[in-house]
Chains A and B, each alone.
Chain A
Amino acid sequence: MIHKRSRWVIAMLCFGLAFLYVPIFLLILYSFNHSKLVPIWGGFSTRWYTVLFESPEVWEAVMLSLRIALINATFATLLGTLAALAMVRFGRFKGRTLFSGMISAPLVMPEVITGLSLLLLFITLADIIGWPGARGFTTITIAHITFSMAYVAVIIQSRLIGMDQSIEEAAQDLGAKPLRVLWDITLPILAPGMLAGWLLAFTLSLDDLVIASFVTGPGSNTLPILIFSRIKLGLKPDINALATLIILTVSIGVLLAAWLMWRQEKQRMQDRKMASRTDH
């Protein structure tokens, strides 16, 4: 009976993975299609990559998206780490309930609401204090930081909760100043979480269409905004080429990160084994 059930589980697993990956493979396949009509095979060709590389619009959008993603990831990691420290380390403080609500709400907030409310804020602010004058890079970055920091905070919080605090206390008992403890003990332990948070914030920003299209202004097209406006009316083979490049870059990044993590884990296991051997 157990055998029969596991066979069903394996079948579902294969079906599920095929469901997840077949569309992505087809997307890549059609990027090498010579035909202008995406799903009709017209022979192998890389002409759509040429078309893509010759489009200045695409490069502008890529550069804008990357700039926003970089600044967003850095600030979101900073603010998210501070928020997580505040949530986990300070127990009760005035306004904690509101703070915990605000830091977790963006995770479940529909994007259309986040986008709408931030746009209305920017318009109101421009009315009152004259800033932001033009919407684009700055407003998109602020919007992205606001929702990305919530994701970073979740990652850092779980890391802080699982962290052994006796090391910090030991350092403090041995006379280390608070800033020294933070720099030498807490931050190195949080570093992998912060890196994961940074990468997540970076990807969330690169991926966001809805919030960016609310808070952007004329002339500032991020990559998702550009792609969306092109595919709105149907299939575009050069978008397939762009998609292939994006998917390959991301996949290589994720696989590399997974491999590094796996190696680190193996090293740690080995260290532990060595340590337990010397104990006996």
Chain B
Amino acid sequence: MKPSTVPASTPSLRQSSGRYLQTKWKGLIIAVPYLWLVLFFLIPFFIVIKISLAESIIASPPFSSLLNWTEDGALQLSLLFDNYAYLWEDELYYKTYLNSIKVAFICTLICLFIGYPMAYGIVRATPTQRNILLILVILPFWTSFLLRVYAWMGILADQGTLNNLLIWFGLIDEPIRMLYTPFAVYLGIIYSYLPFMILPLYANIEKLDMNLLEAAAALGAKPLITFLTVTLPMTLPGIIAGSLLVFIPATGEYVIPDLLGGGNSFMIGKLLYSEFNNNHDWPVAAAVAVALLILLVLPMMLYQNVQARQVGVKT
């Protein structure tokens, strides 16, 4: 938002940066993490691509080799795109992809709707209150994700807290089925990822120049107009960062649909898991992984772009 500050500070930082490390240490500092990531991040990724192009066979490991010796002694490379065609043709995969995106998208919107006023409220609080509120938002993020999902199992079960409460109030006579429904999955995702939405929003709203809001009000803009024309555009980077932090992991979520959604919840992370661990169809699981990655590369790049811009503004 303040482009004038970026070019002024960045080049000088680059030029003078770490000159004392530029000597013999430079190679080592780069090489160690670089090699680690190549070995444990890049190569595994290529193995997944390789297996996604193989054929599922009953053997150990359960996939065919891509390179084969033909009868006349020539090396033959056989790439099978069948697994990808299968993903495209079989309704289950196609629909599961769309469903995952739908669930993640709706959850992101609801997180934004709850998280935005919360972040705004935290910014507007007094410094002491602000610290306490921030800790309250961060605390669940540090406690076990799995256990927080488990907590909802107790609330949503047929004999659970919510049903007991509703019956006690006389609002319902029979327990409503809530656990193992899509509703539970939505609730679990919103609950688990809400802090991820609030924190980037908070960081962004905090930098907002309140004078602008007062100026808009002084010039006669109604609060809603001020919000839509000043606050919202200026906090857009925070909205995008927070939304991607919710949307991307929510799309590939496995634990929540498995524990809260039960057998009839279809999300891509869960499908990949069961394809691999229950059906032992490694090539199809690998193809699902590659497709999911391609599906998420675009928002990932977008996110990095936003983040780089934010870092630029900060310096």
Interface on A for B, CB 8 Å cutoff?
1-2, 5-6, 8-10, 12-13, 15-17, 19-21, 23-24, 26-27, 30, 37-40, 79-80, 82-83, 85-86, 88-91, 93, 95, 98-99, 102-106, 108-113, 116-118, 120-121, 123-124, 127, 142-143, 145-146, 149, 153, 157-158, 161-162, 165, 168-169, 172, 178-179, 181-182, 203, 206-207, 209-210, 224, 227-228, 231-232, 234-235, 239-240, 243, 246-247, 250-251, 253-255, 258, 262
Contacts and interface: CB of A to CB of B under 8 A. Distances in A.
Task: Give the most central of B23, B154, B282, B314: most A CB within 10 Å.
Answer: B154
Interface string B40-68: 11111101100100000000010000000
Given A1-B223, A247-B144, A110 B252 contact: yes
A89 B15 CA distance: 9
Task: Give the most central of B20, B22, B155, B159: most A CB within 10 Å.
Answer: B20
Given A19-B191, A113-B293, A258 B135 contact: yes
Given A108-B248, A121-B44, A250 B142 contact: yes
Task: Give the most central of B19, B26, B142: most A CB within 10 Å.
Answer: B142
Contacts of A161: 13, 311, 314-315
B21 A89 contact: yes
Contacts of B36: 79, 145-146, 149
B38 interface: yes
B251 A82 contact: no
B314 A82 contact: no
A20 B140 contact: yes
A232 B104 CA distance: 23
Interface in B265-315: 269, 272-273, 276, 282, 285-286, 289, 292-293, 296, 299-300, 303-304, 311, 314-315
Given A9-B117, A39-B161, A178-B21, 20 more contacts: A12-B117, A16-B114, A16-B117, A17-B118, A27-B150, A39-B157, A93-B30, A102-B41, A104-B304, A110-B252, A112-B252, A112-B272, A113-B48, A113-B252, A120-B48, A142-B40, A157-B311, A210-B255, A231-B150, A251-B143
A112 B293 CA distance: 11
B48 A224 contact: no
B30 to A, nearest CB: 4
A142 B41 CA distance: 11
Contacts, number: 280
Contacts of B37: 83, 99, 102-103, 146
